[in-house]
């Protein structure tokens, strides 16, 4: 034997492909999944797999991968998935045999913050706005997200319209508006503060969140590693509470102890796990495809179709354009 059989990663990959992912390999014993919905995760060759007991008592073995964006379906080693599998990323739902079940995000923190917000309001009359920044992430149904809109520009840029209601009529905001009036006059102030934007995405790696004075630089380090650098800003001359609002958002949503991005980051990690499988060669950006509205080169998501994957389609179009330019 050549020693490369033991050391060369390419030979290892070939061995996985031609032996361990092709012939009969022990997956598990059916007694590991006695009840309907019981599953256990197992690696076969390089493939993350799931063995699951169906409602009809039969045992299925599936790729541990969501066909949508490739998210790993089950993050745990074993457990019970209930009547269906539900993907943690965009809540696609699947039967135990893997069939798509005809049917949301940040629920955990959003609900928890909503409850505490209510408790504080009961005790003191009004909870600080920072609780709303968290509870705004709670969703009862996916419809809520469909109310928003994305505007997609050439070269992959995108605007997500506002949804957090960050121009409330509280004394701090009113004081800020007064300062703005003084500095810019009524008309220009309206123009600045009336902008209904949550995020501006500047392809390929910058995101501006103007209502919260935030800037994020997304820096790719490798195929499965990305550094996100987050800056928050103090507006010159604006009252201190406006800075505090931005700071609270920064601390709660974007610190390394974030209560909002924790699940997003988990999903991104799980996408890489799922995509390592041969469960499919494609990821899907098809939501509401063909129903976007194009106006003068800008692609808008249609009414009540805010969850359209138009921004991803738009970015990948730019990606293809740039990548095709070998100059």
Site size for another protein (CB under 8 A) = 37
In the complex with ligand FES, the residue whose CB is nearer, 65 or 199, is 65
The Cα-based distances of 297 to 94, 223, 274 in angstroms read 37, 31, 35
Minimum separation from the CB atom of position 72 to ligand FES (A): 9
Nearest residue to 314 via CA among 160, 197, 202, 158: 158
Binding-site residue total for ligand FES (CB under 6 A)? 8
Of 257 and 323, which has the nearer Cβ to another protein? 257
Instruction: Of 216, 214, 202, give the one whose Cα is nearest residue 243.
Output: 214
Paired sense of beta strands 206-209 and 47-53, if any:
unpaired
* DSSP H helical ranges for the chain: 4-7, 9-15, 107-124, 129-135, 143-146, 171-193, 240-254, 261-275, 310-323
Q: Which of 39, 63, 85, 92 binds ligand FES (CB under 6 A)?
A: 92
| Cβ nearer to another protein, comparing 78 with 167 | 78
- If one counts every other C-beta atom within 10 angstroms of the C-beta of residue 23, the result is 8
Q: Which does 62 bind (CB under 5 to 8 A by kind): another protein, ligand FES, none?
A: none
Site string for ligand FES, 48-87 (x = CB under 6 A): ------------------x-xx-x---------------x
Between 243 and 269, CB nearer to ligand FES: 269
Encode 90-124: b = buried (16+ Cβ within 10 Å), e = exposed: bebebebebeeeeebbbeebbbebbeebeeeeeee
Q: Which does 256 bind (CB under 5 to 8 A by kind): another protein, ligand FES, none?
A: another protein
> Which residues are near another protein by CB under 8 A?
74-77, 79, 88, 107-109, 111-113, 115-116, 119-120, 131, 134, 227, 232, 244, 247, 250-252, 255-259, 261-263, 265-267, 269
> Which residues are near ligand FES by CB under 6 A?
66, 68-69, 71, 87, 89-90, 92
């Amino acid at each position: 034997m050549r020693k490369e059989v033991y050391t060369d990663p390419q030979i290892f990959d070939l061995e996985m492909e031609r032996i361990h992912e092709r012939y009969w390999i022990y997956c598990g014993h059916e007694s590991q999944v006695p009840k309907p919905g019981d599953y256990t995760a197992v690696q076969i060759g390089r493939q993350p797999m799931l063995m699951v007991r169906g409602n009809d008592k039969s045992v299925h073995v599936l790729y541990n991968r969501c066909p949508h964006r490739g998210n790993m379906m089950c993050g745990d080693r074993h457990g019970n998935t209930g009547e269906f599998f539900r993907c943690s990323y965009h809540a696609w739902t699947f039967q135990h045999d893997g069939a798509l079940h005809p049917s949301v995000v940040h629920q955990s923190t959003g609900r928890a913050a909503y409850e505490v917000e209510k408790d504080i309001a009961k005790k003191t009359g009004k909870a600080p706005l920072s609780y709303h920044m968290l509870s705004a992430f709670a969703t009862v149904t996916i419809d809520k997200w469909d109310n928003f809109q994305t505007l997609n520009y050439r070269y992959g840029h995108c605007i997500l319209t506002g949804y957090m209601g960050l121009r409330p009529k509280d004394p701090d905001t009113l004081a800020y508006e007064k300062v703005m009036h003084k500095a810019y006059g009524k008309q220009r102030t309206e123009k600045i503060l009336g902008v209904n934007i949550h995020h501006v995405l500047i392809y390929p790696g910058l995101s501006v969140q103007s209502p919260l004075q935030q800037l994020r630089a997304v820096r790719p380090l490798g195929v499965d590693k990305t550094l996100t650098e987050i800056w928050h800003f103090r507006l010159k001359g604006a009252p201190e509470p406006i800075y505090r609002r931005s700071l609270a958002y920064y601390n709660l949503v974007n610190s390394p102890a974030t209560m909002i991005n924790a699940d997003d980051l988990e999903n991104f990690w799980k996408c890489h796990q799922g995509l390592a499988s041969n469960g499919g060669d494609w990821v899907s950006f098809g939501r509401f495809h063909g129903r976007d509205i194009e106006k003068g080169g800008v692609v808008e998501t249609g009414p009540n179709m805010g969850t359209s994957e138009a921004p991803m389609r738009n970015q990948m179009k730019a990606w293809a354009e740039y990548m095709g330019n070998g100059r």
